[in-house]
Structure 1
Amino acid sequence: MSAPHVALRGLALRYGERTVLDGVDLDVAPGELVSILGASGSGKSTLLRIVAGLQKPDAGTVTVEGTPLAGPRPDIALAFQDPCLLPWLSVERNVAFGLGFTRQPRLARSERARRVAQALAAVGLAHAGGLAPRQLSGGMAQRVALARCLARAPRTLLLDEPFGALDEVTRADMQRLLVGIVRDTRAATLLVTHDIDEALLVSDRIVLLGRDGRLAMQLAVNVSAPREAQIETLGRLRVLLVEALHASMARAPTTTACA
């Protein structure tokens, strides 16, 4: 693996008497998609907020391109399960929303327009810039949310269950779209998901967070494309993940790589 774009070292966080994260070490390389699995309450979304610079850990560090993270950065984009589109803005203006914020680099109007058009084209919505959010399907709305991230030209992409509310067919389309975007942009990407099959289909690596706040497992997913056709290999990896998920509260952290 190439040098990490994002490096987490010894991350720890407590809420009162409850340990949320405990000594988490994790690297994400440029162009790598790492999925985070874990039971509800295991700290997955909290970890993303820390990497986004929205929450400070009690201990440990996050470095991005070798620089300690001190807060939100313009080259880090975060998307949630809810697309969070503003209903009074068009699709185009929703994608552009935030490009003029203080933390963002100053852009000429022509450059903003270029970025928005390029982002909409990347998610297959070049024709939809003038539509209102109420005119969009769930899948289209999620594409707009992803385009809003892409318009910021992120080098780090953080996704918190972005496809959880979509139907199976739309979800599969979005998964393929995400893999293509990570490949094309080379963004270091962290994806929080509850779906083991989704993680297996899109990830270069999967990490499992236990309810004790520690990394219970790391799994390199070395499966040839098209992954959907590798049923036996995916099945074996799925069994490993399910077993590790059930045992994560009792078993010491392990690291596993499978071909």
Structure 2
Amino acid sequence: MRHSLPLAPQFYVTAPQPCPYLEGRMERKLFTSLQGETAEQLNNTLSKQGFRRSQNVLYRPSCADCAACLSARIDVSAFTPSKSQRRVIKRNADIERRATSPWATEEQYALFRRYLDSRHADGGMADMDVFEFAAMIEETPIRSRVVEYVDADGGLRAAGLTDVLDDGVSMVYSFYDPTMERRSLGTYLILDHIEIARQAGLPYVYLGYWVPGSPKMGYKCKFSGLELYHNGTWQRMRQPSDYDSTTHPLKSDPIAEQVANITLPDTRGPLR
């Protein structure tokens, strides 16, 4: 009788580079590849521990002297829209949602370029060409969808790459028409994903990272039911002012200790 064990995933650390969220700081990421028959299980398990997916890689911030980035998700059962969010839903009542397979189109890329040029012209994705965009959308080893939002004339106004996890939906990347400010499409995409999760019976919507002190991330704390992955557990968010983003050499555990504390899925097959 033979019992074979799969190889455990290998973790690596990126070289330090300027932080895109907090000026004057350096970021570093802990990452592992996402491939093979166990990709879905690994993605589900590590997403619950603050990791995010980018194509066939799972990553989590692992900065040497800063622990400001906190993974954020919305507890669907605890979410209640605010008055302003209800107005956003009403203003976008004419928008139609279309969920498709993860396949990139020229119309998506044109919208993506307008969004970047308007909102993130100096960001790390500013030079992304059509082939890199297609790779971002299409290179996924797990269950993913492109969720498109079109108006009454059939024009694409917003889109998002969304992963379907065993406990929720993860908004990998979203973009929208930057000229339609009154619609608040960024907020609407999150509100609609809460509804998607609710309809599917999934408890969470994963939003990526919230960074105290970063204006780019301030919108995430406006959603009720928000939870943050902090000190190894998911906790209901307190007042934003309760969190600080100060650097300190003891804020981050050593890499070896971080890896040792990661829980991996049990992917062992049946005895043979």
Structure 2 length as normaliser, TM-score? 0.35
Kindly indicate which of the two structures has a greater share of residues assigned to helix.
1
